[in-house]
Structure 1
Amino acid sequence: MEDQITRTIELKAPIERVWKALTDHDEFGSWFRLSLHGPFKVGELTLGVTEYPGHEGLPFWARVVAMDEPRLFSFIWPMDESIRPDDPELDHKTTRVEFTLEPTASGTKLTVRETGFESLPENRRLQAFRDNQGGWDQQTANIKKFVE
């Protein structure tokens, strides 16, 4: 099994616009279909609930790892909504998401990479990977529509 999911998309929007869509919690929530309760800050949790059809009201959290404007935004998040951020086994229940931005002649190249599936419990690993593969297909389409 692979340990990472990678999606790359060309966006017809300036890098500053894409950066804001990724790092402003209200904008991120809009295209990712979340209601977030506060801003993204390095080292801190951002909490919220999902608004995605069929998953409405489920808890969401992410801990920001890096914000290197306008090139890199990264966070860890749980493999499912039952994982709490104070779980002592958190290293084996989260994956890392990185958004890397590069300016192009026509806008911005966005690469989304999620890693860490190998550290998840063996009985959950494959399903989490499959679910997130489809999820990133949808989310890259969502951000494209949002910023263009």
Structure 2
Amino acid sequence: MSSDRIEKRIFLRAPRARVWRALTVPEEFGRWFGARFDAGTVFQPAARIDAGITHPGYEHWRFQIVIERVEPETLFSYRWHPYPKPGADLSGEPMTLVELRLSEAPGGTELSVVESGFDQVLPARRDEAFRMNEGGWAAQLENIARHVAS
């Protein structure tokens, strides 16, 4: 097991185009991920996007993503600060890279998530950020599975 990266994979009983929309249309992403984006937000390379968390108990948390790559129906990637607690100044800390990859699978789509760069997170936050995102991605994959099946 690596301390620098989280890797998860799930089979989704939905066409690739449906899963792609769930990943790259901000309103849809927000529904399964538990985030709120400003109206008019577009996920495009180099965009810096602020969002609020909608999960009960975390509504006061905010996060920022910087879109890296958008390769239609194949790869959506962004950078962010993992587990950004409210009030923490993370401006001097490197962001981790989240890569969401789609591939064809019999009867649906395989989605893989790789979040890397934890070794660059400040030591005071590294273990907690890794642990929280490890569990978070497991939950988020179940959320997107329910979302694309509905």
What's the TM-score, normalizing by structure 2?
0.91
1:48 alignment partner, SS class:
strand
In structure 1, what is the equivalent of residue 101 of structure 2? Answer: 100
Equivalent AA in structure 2 for residue 43 of structure 1: A
2:145 corresponds to: 144
SS in structure 1 opposite 2:79? strand
Q: For the Cα contact (< 8 Å) 2:93–2:121, is it kept in 1? A: no
Consecutive unaligned residues in structure 2, runs of 5 or more: none
**Residue number among 67, 70, 74 corresponding to 1:67 in the alignment:** 70
Tell me which amino acid in the other structure corresponds to 1:76.
Answer: R
The equivalent residue for 1:14 is: 15
Letter in 1 for 2:53: T
- The amino acid of 1:145's aligned partner reads R
Q: Kindly state the Cα deviation for residue 22 of structure 1 after the two structures are TM-superposed.
A: 0.2
Q: 1:76 aligns with which of 57, 76, 79?
A: 79
Q: Distance in 2 between the 1:13 and 1:83 partners?
A: 39
Deviation at residue 60 of structure 1 after TM alignment: 1.9
- Once residues 132 and 93 of structure 2 are traced to their aligned partners in structure 1, the CA distance between those partners, rounded to angstroms, is 20
- Pairwise CA distance, 1:9: 0.2
Give the letter for the 1:56 counterpart: E
Instruction: Quote the Cα distance in structure 1 between the aligned partners of 2:122 and 2:93.
Output: 11
Tell me, yes or no, if structure 1 residue 124 matches structure 2 residue 125.
Answer: yes
How far, CA to CA, are the matches of 2:137 and 2:55 in structure 1?
13
CA contact 2:101–2:113 (8 Å) conserved in 1: yes
- Equivalent-residue separation in structure 1 for 2:123 and 2:93 (angstroms): 15
Residue 57 of structure 1: aligned partner: 60
Q: How far 1:46 sits from its partner (Å)?
A: 1.5
Q: Aligned with 1:56: secondary structure?
A: coil
Question: d(CA) in 1 for partners of 2:15 and 2:132?
Answer: 30
- 2:142 alignment partner AA: A
Equivalent residue pairs, number:
143
Aligned residues with identical type, % of pairs: 35
Partner of 2:34: 33
1:35-63 CA-partner distances (Å, limit 9, x unpaired)? 11112111011212110121013112100
Measure, in 1, the Cα distance between the counterparts of 2:105 and 2:131.
30
- Distance in 2 of aligned mates of 1:51 and 1:83: 21
**Displacement, 1:83?**
4.2
Residues 126 and 110 of structure 1: is their aligned pair in 2 closer, same or farther, counting only changes over 3 Å? same
